[in-house]
Structure 1
Amino acid sequence: MSRSFRRSNPITIVLAGILCIGFFVFFFSGGDAPVIGKNRGAGETASNPLSPASLPFRKSKANAPRVAPPVVHYYMNNLTTSRTPIENEETVLILTPMARFYQEYWDNLAKLSYPHSLISLGFIIPKTKEGNAAYAALQAQIAKTQSGPKPKRFAAVTILRQDTENPLSSQAETERHKMENQKVRRAAMSKARNSLLFTTMGPTTSWVLWMDADIIETPPSLIQDLAAYDVPIIVPNCFQRHYDKEKKTSIIREYDLNNWIDSPTAKEMGAKMGKDEILLEGYGEMPTYRSLMAKMYDPSADPTTKIKLDGVGGTTLLVKAEVHRDGAMFPPFAFYNLIETEGFAKMAKRLNWESFGLPNYLVFHYDE
């Protein structure tokens, strides 16, 4: 058979076409890798302690054969963070450093209207007397919720116990907010936040919602409300409900002063500081003249108003998981003279991620 005949043989052409099609199907199909964020069954669990942290793990019986650790491929391009997170089944990781347990915090968490099957919870609790009490109370509520109706159960819950030394003798609000305690306190908070984040964020996490343990009231639609802005970092305005004994009336007052727009004065102060010194907000001894989002609240204004921020607080903070994956964490050291959540906003900005705030969208902090 001549060479020219073999090249023009229809059978050869058909076989070559099949091989080409097979190659393209193999190359673009993604193999047997999971499609992140899709078709997550409520009963899906990890089969081994080394399985991804984003799945709940159930221990096998003592005499059961040990299951081999799985090998799983994740294609991160399949992970979305969109304005419609429920429709796209985007998973949310809610992280809470907890020194005290407030029942109102848990009740508010349980009322969130975002599908609980798409929410994982993470806590870090110090090994102190107060921390042990918080741990016991939290465990009781978790057991009650996770054994209740399936729609109310969370996808996974992780609790870390913190062995590091607590820099403060008390968690009372007056002690926590003393100016001389801020650097050591917030450095310890940064370490706790980072430990919690690095331990719990899995490859299927789309959003990370930081919520302090003393946030006791938010709209049930909090997650989808904040995600709808489709920005890397966003914070609502944190207030307190307070009873004014002098006026004998209930009022609301601003609480979180770490959401701010920078000022020339603050920049000049930072330029004159040593590399290990930090700027603090809300103290008369250190007037920065920054524009505080807490002071911008207007009950008659548009609740959807969004502003750009240079510093953020962590009382309630929604972050696209890719921001953390890109390297933005909470510096426990002076980072451009900022620390913890404010340092996080600065670090994120250095990585080209912007922060935003909602001055007229309120969440409420426990009033001590």
Structure 2
Amino acid sequence: MALFRRANPATFILAILLIAGFGYFLFSNPDAPSQSSLRGLHKAAANALSPPSLPFRKASPPNGANVAAAAPPVVHYYLNNLTTTTDPVTNRETVLILTPLARFYQGYWDNLAALSYPHDLISLGFVIPKGRDGNAANSALQEQIQKVQQGPHKKRFASITVLRQDIENPLQSQSEHERHKLENQKERRAAMAKARNSLLFTTMGPTTSWVLWLDSDIVESPHSLIQDLAAHDKPIITANCYQRYFDKDKNAMSTRAYDYNNWVDSPTAQELAKKMGPDDVLFEGYGSMATYRSLMAYMVGKDGNMDPNREVELDGVGGTALLVKAEVHRDGAMFPPFSFYHLIETEGFAKMARRLGWKSYGLPNYFVYHFNE
């Protein structure tokens, strides 16, 4: 007792403060967001089911208490009232832009940000592979997302979803040369199909009218891309993908065809398919597998017609700049990662959509441009 009488009162105060701090450290919930961190979450959904277009952040109960979660809401969506018209801006139709992102190109992002379609009607979705290249692409993408979403409201997108795959890309190199080797096509395209399906099924909500598939290496397109494609009122429609390059023979910039997956089928290709095994796949653009299909890439200016609105019906499509009415995907048209009538991925998607009653179209004289490696 004498020891306590001789102690300085300041010692007791210090001891009480230390005990209080130690108790806070032990019993506070490190996962509970601070009040300041909640200020930016006013656009988060209150429940995982409502609304599905907004991010949902699961909160931990305070101090580990067993607090019953609020009952999920009942939300009614009248999909018959969802429109896909030739004037999507006036009718406030929402567009979901989906991109498998193995590499990040600044030109792609700048082109995306420059689209004239109202950004508050656009949601973005990305799927990024595992691995070093995927990590680099993710870092660059996150930097750009932060800039645009914290910038002027008019330039912000309605929502952005980024998925990371739990498997690595089947190809060690993502160079253009390696990606397009014939022996790599089945494995590469199957992985791409799985990535597309995962992205689609995760991000498409009941308010989505259109889905625009836009490849990450498309660095130039008309700013009115969405309006231009939607104006044709087709269930599936694609632009013609070309590439700008320096022509050494002409000593000047020129263009060349890039996407050969937009085609009209041929009797030769159909005969080749009949001789194939059930798991074999026909690929376009390879001399050792000559199909003699009519490629949209070579229909530019056919019969002197350079009208950018000229349409052709297609049997196969690529995914470089592909606009799809969301109801086509809702009907079950997806990207087969297996041999589907000897087709796979985007070309298999066109075949599956056709089996469901949806036709595909292309615009031979309407261009988007691929990055030139």
Residue among 189, 193, 209 paired with 2:192: 189
- Are residues 1:346 and 2:351 paired? yes
Calculate the TM-score normalised by the size of structure 1.
0.85
Structure 2 letter corresponding to 1:191 = K
Supply the distance in 2 between the matched residues of 1:128 and 1:348 (Cα, whole angstroms): 33
Structure 1 letter corresponding to 2:150 = S
Supply the distance in 2 between the matched residues of 1:200 and 1:287 (Cα, whole angstroms): 37
The residue aligned with 2:165 is 162
Kindly indicate whether the alpha-carbon contact (under 8 Å) linking 2:124 and 2:161 is maintained by their aligned counterparts in 1.
yes
Structure 1 letter corresponding to 2:110 = D
- Are residues 1:324 and 2:323 paired? no
Alignment of 1:347-362 (within 5 A): 347-362=352-367
Supply the distance in 2 between the matched residues of 1:61 and 1:244 (Cα, whole angstroms): 60
The residue aligned with 1:105 is 108
Residue among 259, 263, 266 paired with 2:262: 259
Kindly indicate whether the alpha-carbon contact (under 8 Å) linking 2:131 and 2:168 is maintained by their aligned counterparts in 1.
no
Kindly indicate whether the alpha-carbon contact (under 8 Å) linking 1:56 and 1:155 is maintained by their aligned counterparts in 2.
no
- Are residues 1:212 and 2:215 paired? yes
Structure 1 letter corresponding to 2:45 = A
Cα displacement (A) at 1:97: 0.3
Q: How many residues get paired? A: 326
Supply the distance in 1 between the matched residues of 2:91 and 2:298 (Cα, whole angstroms): 36
- SS in structure 2 opposite 1:163? strand
CA RMSD of aligned residues (A): 1.8
Point out where structure 1 has 5 or more consecutive residues left out of the alignment. Answer: 1-42
- Are residues 1:88 and 2:91 paired? yes
Cα displacement (A) at 1:165: 3.2
Cα displacement (A) at 1:367: 0.5
Kindly indicate whether the alpha-carbon contact (under 8 Å) linking 1:270 and 1:337 is maintained by their aligned counterparts in 2.
yes
1:63–1:150: structure 2 CA closer, same or farther, 3 Å change rule?
farther
Supply the distance in 2 between the matched residues of 1:70 and 1:127 (Cα, whole angstroms): 35
The residue aligned with 2:317 is 312
Cα displacement (A) at 1:59: 7.2
The residue aligned with 2:308 is 303
Supply the distance in 2 between the matched residues of 1:274 and 1:115 (Cα, whole angstroms): 48
Cα displacement (A) at 1:297: 1.2
Percent identical residues: 69
Supply the distance in 2 between the matched residues of 1:58 and 1:145 (Cα, whole angstroms): 22
Supply the distance in 2 between the matched residues of 1:88 and 1:67 (Cα, whole angstroms): 35
Kindly indicate whether the alpha-carbon contact (under 8 Å) linking 1:93 and 1:208 is maintained by their aligned counterparts in 2.
yes
Which has the higher mean CA deviation after the structures are superposed, 276-285 or 45-54?
45-54
Kindly indicate whether the alpha-carbon contact (under 8 Å) linking 1:54 and 1:205 is maintained by their aligned counterparts in 2.
no
Supply the distance in 2 between the matched residues of 1:348 and 1:156 (Cα, whole angstroms): 28
Structure 1 letter corresponding to 2:281 = I
Kindly indicate whether the alpha-carbon contact (under 8 Å) linking 1:52 and 1:203 is maintained by their aligned counterparts in 2.
no
Supply the distance in 2 between the matched residues of 1:328 and 1:336 (Cα, whole angstroms): 14
Supply the distance in 2 between the matched residues of 1:85 and 1:333 (Cα, whole angstroms): 34
Supply the distance in 2 between the matched residues of 1:228 and 1:353 (Cα, whole angstroms): 17
- SS in structure 2 opposite 1:191? helix
- Structure 1 segments, 4+ long, off by >6 Å, are 58-62
Supply the distance in 2 between the matched residues of 1:366 and 1:166 (Cα, whole angstroms): 20
Structure 1 letter corresponding to 2:339 = A
- SS in structure 1 opposite 2:367? strand
The residue aligned with 2:228 is 225
Supply the distance in 1 between the matched residues of 2:259 and 2:165 (Cα, whole angstroms): 25
Which has the higher mean CA deviation after the structures are superposed, 296-305 or 136-145?
296-305
Q: Deviations over 1:74-118 (max 9, x none)?
A: 111111111111111110000000000000100000000000000
- Are residues 1:51 and 2:50 paired? yes
Supply the distance in 2 between the matched residues of 1:130 and 1:243 (Cα, whole angstroms): 27
Structure 2 letter corresponding to 1:330 = F
1:245–1:53: structure 2 CA closer, same or farther, 3 Å change rule?
farther
The residue aligned with 2:246 is 243
Supply the distance in 1 between the matched residues of 2:118 and 2:61 (Cα, whole angstroms): 34
Cα displacement (A) at 1:48: 2.7
The residue aligned with 1:142 is 145
Supply the distance in 2 between the matched residues of 1:217 and 1:202 (Cα, whole angstroms): 28
The residue aligned with 2:120 is 117
Supply the distance in 1 between the matched residues of 2:340 and 2:305 (Cα, whole angstroms): 37
Structure 1 letter corresponding to 2:309 = T
Structure 2 letter corresponding to 1:230 = D
